[in-house]
Amino acid sequence: MLTRSDDLEILLTVVNSGGFSAAAELLDIQVARVSRAVSKIEKQLGVTILNRTTRRIELTEEGRLFLDAIRQGIHQINKAEEDIISQGELPQGRLRVDAASPFVFHQIVPLVQAFQQHYPHIQLELTSNEGIVDLIEKRTDLAIRIGQLPDSTLHATPLGMSSLHLVASPNYLATRGVPKHTSDLQEHSIIGFTGPKILNEWPLKGFTMQPANLTSSNGETVRQLALADNGIACLSGFMVNDDITQGNLISILANEKIPHPKREQINAVYYRSSSVAKRISAFIEFIKPRLTL
């Protein structure tokens, strides 16, 4: 007996969301329906796919191998559907785009209305993840990644470079003074990132990051902390250029900055064999000249 594709989708959602209740909420179905689908698959295969505890679920080794194969299979099914849709003259269909939340807020959101007017038959779906996502696992067509790319299996289209700025609010600098040299930073409050480590590498020659007074995993939160007079932060131009122009943040130590391409490169990435190439190309070609990096 063949396993139904909707049961497989339920199983994938359980694994991706971390639980039966979370999957039921995402799929808008009853938890009992989720449980039946997983049990049915396990019965048909004759193996245990998920180890269940009161607090969490874990994939068995057989489950991990099965899920890897299912993800690839669903990707191929989606690809076949997309190939048919993309045969029309105009780009159409769903386009799933993922980027760190600050890039979504400051660069993509302002362009969405104009993009939809240009391409009314593309249904744009935006997600925000601060870390690198697996495009197949997250069913993502295109991801915007900041910094050097570790993925050789992905096709990359450079979108540009976004310079880093050391910034603080006028009120903070009026109270604590304006640093004149890199060494002066030791006397100041630093706003950093909880990780990864590269986000705490500032573009200053010979500078070693001191323990931060405040940290966050989210760049937009770091920006808001700086705007609220909490200290000095190092942020990409794509999220603070307007703040600097409007005087809400002040760029400091500009004469001592050095290039930091590991944090300044911005690329659009997707699989080379992607069936949504027409939509991806339309999106990249539309946003690239309009980005304010």
Closest CA to 142 of 271, 261, 5: 271
At 120, list the tokens.
């009314």
Least confident of 3-12, 19-28, 189-198: 3-12
Closest CA to 165 of 99, 267, 239, 247: 239
pLDDT, tens digit, for every residue of 9-27? 888 888 877 788 888 887 8
Q: Percent of the chain at pLDDT above 70?
A: 85
Confidence at 239, pLDDT banded by 50, 70, 90: very high
Domains and CATH numbers, the chain: 5-84 (1.10.10.10), 86-162+264-290 (3.40.190.10), 164-256 (3.40.190.10)
CB 28 within 8 A of CB 18: no
pLDDT, tens digit, for every residue of 201-234? 888 887 888 888 899 988 999 999 999 999 999 9
Q: What are the angstrom distances between the C-alpha of 78 and each of 142, 273, 278?
A: 15, 12, 15
Phi, psi (degrees; rounded to nearest 5) at 241: -55, -45
Least confident of 75-79, 127-131, 141-145, 158-162: 75-79
CB 142 within 8 A of CB 103: no
* Cα dihedral 20, 24, 30, 36 sign: negative
What is the pTM assigned to this prediction? 0.66
Closest CA to 144 of 16, 293, 273, 258: 293
* Cα dihedral 229, 235, 241, 245 sign: positive
